[in-house]
Structure 1
Amino acid sequence: MPHLFDTLIRCVMLLDGSGAAARMADVALRDGLIARIDESGAIDPDAAAHVVEGHGLVLSPGFIDVHTHDDTNVVRQPEMTPKLSQGVTTVIVGNCGISAAPVVLSGDPPDPMNLLGHADAFCYPDFRSYVEAVEAAQPAVNVAALVGHTALRSNQMDQLDRAATPAEIAAMRAQLEEALQHGALGLSTGLAYANAFSAPTEEVLALAEPLANAGALYATHLRSEFAEILDAMDEAFRIGRHARVPVVISHLKCAGVPNWGRSTEVLDAVDAAQRWQPVGCDCYPYTASSSTLDLKQVTSDFDIMVTWSEGAPEMGGRLLAEIAAEWQVDLHEAARRLMPAGAVYHCMEDADVDRILSHPATVVGSDGLPNDPLPHPRLWGAFPRVLGHYARDRELFPLAVAVNKMTGMSAERFGLAGRGFVREGYWADLVLFDADTIRDAASFTDPMQPAEGIAAVWVNGELSWLQRQPTGLRAGRFLPRGPRPAA
């Protein structure tokens, strides 16, 4: 006799992703979906082909990493171990103006698109071809995608240190519209980077105009996260109002020692904008950032660790100050010799991260760089760190709130229909974890370490991770933009 359910997860403390308190329940899965949630213990274990005993463990929706640079890795390294191992079941790619599609290169990828790989990684001239590649690769996690402004600029412009012409903007818009037709979530910008910084606000205003009709959004790495951050936020809000779409501020932070302590006024600006338009932000749970080595961020105010260098590969893993002293040059000259290169910047303070992470508008994104040979530990540890360090150990917010910031709120913000909640009829993206032991094991010196306390992960109903090991099943799929709740 056939079983009624494929899997029964019994006697778990269920956090359903809504922010509601945990409750004891059994959860049954069938055909990739959550078929039944029962709090009475009435589901017969014999009705399921597989039974998982969850006594003492928490079951929550799979975590949604809203800010990633996994664009090429979901195809080239589809096992996605850094994310699956920490309970992430969906990644959103295409952030910071950087996307794998649509891209046509005539040479090496411009900074910071080189964070996604070398030229051979960019083989998707239109968004549809990227969707098809993700589906063919069948990664271990689901994938949803933004379209990067810098990627569009590199397709249409002969040089990036100027404003786009009306004809170039029209060509970029046509590529964006094709992507929206094939399920892209929206447009992202990285206006702080040199290859987008010359784009005036008017260029982005014009490019963003097709977003509203598609139900899409605008996500931005602000033009400045330093002294001019409030002006940069005003620019983002203006773009959202003009385009009539929600705004997501990527990895909101107060960077640089002179900026420390300004998180209160920064968050006040978010609150003020929310009175007139939908605005949210994401944050990673660390006081260090990571990106390409950028002369504008080179300073002696805090430690800067070089993670890779094409100019001097042997210097990867060393502090910029140590390299400069060894070469007997100043920091900026050392950085020039190292470039192109990657770096970790210890540029934030704990109090600001606490305020931003705990704000009601904030969801969690790792911003991990999977192609960095010495990645920031957020690549492997961001989500367990929120649950262990911030929710349990520091008691910055309740566990249910932490889970909501990593699941339900993220799914609603980005229009991921049927995801982010443990509800009957929703997709069975689930993580089973021990609330008492979950923690990030990755460190700055040893970053490629799977988290502790993750017992099991299901993606679209398939058991994909079990007791610190992948099962070999890869059940991820491309997620097109879905219906967005009314603002």
Structure 2
Amino acid sequence: MPHLFDTLIRLVSLIDGSGAAPRLADVGIRDGRITRIDAPGAIDPDTASHVVEGHGMVLAPGFIDVHTHDDTNVVRQPEMTPKISQGVTTVIVGNCGISAAPVTLAGDPPDPMNLLGRAEAFCYPNFQAYVEAVNAAQPAVNVAALVGHTALRSNHMDRLDRAATPDETAAMRAQLEEALAHGALGLSTGLAYANAFCAPTEEVLALAEPLADAGALYATHLRSEFAEILDAMDEAFRIGRHARVPVVISHLKCAGVPNWGRSGEVLDALEGAQRWQPVGCDCYPYTASSSTLDLKQVTSDFDIQVTWSESHPAMGGRLLADIAAEWNVDLLEAARRLQPAGAVYHCMEDADVDRILRHPATVVGSDGLPNDPLPHPRLWGAFPRVLGHYARDRELFPLTVAVNKMTGLSAERFGLTERGFVREGYWADLVLFDAATIRDAASFTDPMQPAEGIAAVWVNGALSWQQRAATGVRAGRFLPRGSRATA
């Protein structure tokens, strides 16, 4: 009998990414796409080259990590083990105003672009070069990309502690337009960081103007996630209205002890904006953030764990307070001595994370930092944590809602066509998992641990991860912007 399918996955509880109730099904794959979805037993297993028994486990769309800093790692470390091991089949890079392309460096990458690697990792002077490099590397996951505002500033400005001139803004805009022509999803900013903080709103308004014609979007690490968060949100909404594009607020949070409990008013502001314009947000399922060691965030209100330090590498993994005590200096002076450095900030409370994660506008992004020697556990565990800790154990939302926040809603928001749903004709990005056992194993003290309960992962129809091990097959590709993004 001729083989009609490359792979047949039998007797699964199908959660298709739409939020609809699960149903038992068999799913057939051919030439990288889902070609048939039918009742259990309706597809003859002899018509498939390879048969996988689902045993009633959940089959869902591959997870879409909408907020990553995997820009250079998808080329330098194409196995992408931290992501494929947790069921992620697509990563969106270029967040927080920092991107690998287009970039031309005169020296070391400015903070926080150093989160993406050292100077030699930035070898893509235009966006098309980056696209070609991703496809040549053929990473284990698909890659879609935003263009970073700070990266553009670094290309065209002699110093970043000022506003761009009209000529510099025009040069940045030309590079952005080139990237949009080659499939970039849109523009991202990281206005909280020192090397973008001096950019006035008008600079971003001018830069964002080409986005609408390209069907692109604006994603932003707000100018403040602390006391001034509502003002920062208003700025983001203003930019979206001016550019006539959807706005995505990156890793929405209420950071800092004085901000705890404000998630209600923050979400009210988001809902208010939604009445007039498309607005969404992403969130990671933890009460700790991670970035470079930022002097503005140094406080004694919560624990700050140093993850790396170029000047004092032995201090990686230790609490900033303990380092300061050992050196007999205050926290700010200790942080100055450690720079450049990275840190984990235990700056949020559970109730705010719950409220934001549960909100219908929220999708899931890990915000993992793959180049940290001691990364935040979100790099390896964000998606299983949503499914296990939040959906199953704490019942924050149904499993179908959790999957939708990590698949279909994400694909629609970022304009990833024929992804994010288990539908006939769509690309076969799929994850098979045990809903009863799935959990994140990564911790703050032992963060590089693959999740439990992930049985198999397919990327573009290719079996890429099975029973806690990579298969050695890498089938990812660059995904250009598809249909118009929504929020």
State the TM-score bracket (shorter-chain normalisation). over 0.9
Find the aligned partners of 1:400 and 1:330 in 2 and give their Cα distance: 48
Q: Which residue of 1 aligns with 2:355?
A: 355
Q: Secondary structure at the match of 2:37?
A: strand
Q: Which residue of 2 aligns with 1:399?
A: 399
Q: Secondary structure at the match of 2:432?
A: strand
CA gap of 1:485–1:324, structure 2 versus 1, over 3 A, is closer
Give the count of matched residue pairs: 487
Aligned residue identity for 1:462: A
- The answer (yes or no) to whether the contact 2:278–2:486 under 8 Å persists in 1 is no
Q: Which residue of 2 aligns with 1:44?
A: 44
Q: With structure 2 as the length reference, what TM-score do the two structures score?
A: 0.99
- The answer (yes or no) to whether the contact 2:12–2:55 under 8 Å persists in 1 is yes
Find the aligned partners of 1:483 and 1:426 in 2 and give their Cα distance: 14
Aligned residue identity for 1:83: K
Find the aligned partners of 2:104 and 2:229 in 1 and give their Cα distance: 32
Find the aligned partners of 2:5 and 2:313 in 1 and give their Cα distance: 53
CA gap of 1:486–1:279, structure 2 versus 1, over 3 A, is closer
Q: Which residue of 1 aligns with 2:21?
A: 21
Deviations 1:149-202 (A, max 9, x none): 000000000000000000000000000000000000000000000000000000
Q: Secondary structure at the match of 2:131?
A: helix
Q: Secondary structure at the match of 2:325?
A: helix
Find the aligned partners of 1:428 and 1:301 in 2 and give their Cα distance: 46
Find the aligned partners of 1:367 and 1:305 in 2 and give their Cα distance: 17
Find the aligned partners of 1:39 and 1:202 in 2 and give their Cα distance: 56
Find the aligned partners of 1:330 and 1:430 in 2 and give their Cα distance: 50
Deviations 1:300-329 (A, max 9, x none): 000000000012111000000000000000
Aligned residue identity for 2:177: E
- Pair 1:389 & 2:389 matched: yes
Find the aligned partners of 2:283 and 2:273 in 1 and give their Cα distance: 18
Q: 1:41: how far off?
A: 2.4
Aligned residue identity for 1:92: I
- Pair 1:221 & 2:221 matched: yes
Aligned residue identity for 2:263: S
Matching of residues 64-213 of structure 1 within 5 Å: 64-213=64-213
Aligned residue identity for 1:365: G
- Pair 1:280 & 2:280 matched: yes
Find the aligned partners of 1:86 and 1:483 in 2 and give their Cα distance: 27
Q: 1:484: how far off?
A: 2.4
Find the aligned partners of 1:4 and 1:301 in 2 and give their Cα distance: 61
Find the aligned partners of 2:484 and 2:97 in 1 and give their Cα distance: 22
Q: Which residue of 2 aligns with 1:324?
A: 324
In structure 1, runs of 5+ residues without a counterpart are none
Find the aligned partners of 2:485 and 2:306 in 1 and give their Cα distance: 42
Aligned residue identity for 1:35: T
Q: Secondary structure at the match of 2:90?
A: strand
Deviations 1:64-99 (A, max 9, x none): 000000000000000000000000000000000000
More deviation, 218-227/38-47: 38-47
Find the aligned partners of 2:215 and 2:351 in 1 and give their Cα distance: 36
Q: 1:55: how far off?
A: 1.1
Find the aligned partners of 1:348 and 1:41 in 2 and give their Cα distance: 48
Q: 1:56: how far off?
A: 2.3
Q: Which residue of 1 aligns with 2:60?
A: 60
- The answer (yes or no) to whether the contact 2:217–2:485 under 8 Å persists in 1 is no
Aligned residue identity for 1:155: N
Matching of residues 293-442 of structure 1 within 5 Å: 293-442=293-442
Q: Secondary structure at the match of 2:431?
A: strand
Find the aligned partners of 1:306 and 1:42 in 2 and give their Cα distance: 55
Find the aligned partners of 1:244 and 1:80 in 2 and give their Cα distance: 35
Find the aligned partners of 2:2 and 2:297 in 1 and give their Cα distance: 62
Find the aligned partners of 1:427 and 1:435 in 2 and give their Cα distance: 23
- The answer (yes or no) to whether the contact 2:414–2:485 under 8 Å persists in 1 is no
Find the aligned partners of 2:20 and 2:483 in 1 and give their Cα distance: 23
More deviation, 90-99/31-40: 31-40
Q: Which residue of 1 aligns with 2:264?
A: 264
Deviations 1:367-408 (A, max 9, x none): 000000000000000000000000000000000000000000
Q: Secondary structure at the match of 1:7?
A: strand
- The answer (yes or no) to whether the contact 2:413–2:486 under 8 Å persists in 1 is no
Stretches of 4+ aligned residues off by more than 2 angstroms:
484-487
Q: Secondary structure at the match of 2:184?
A: coil
- The answer (yes or no) to whether the contact 2:317–2:374 under 8 Å persists in 1 is yes
- The answer (yes or no) to whether the contact 2:440–2:450 under 8 Å persists in 1 is yes
Q: With structure 1 as the length reference, what TM-score do the two structures score?
A: 0.99
- Pair 1:478 & 2:478 matched: yes
Find the aligned partners of 1:268 and 1:437 in 2 and give their Cα distance: 35
More deviation, 41-50/185-194: 41-50
Find the aligned partners of 2:437 and 2:40 in 1 and give their Cα distance: 27
User: Cα RMSD over matched residues?
Assistant: 0.7
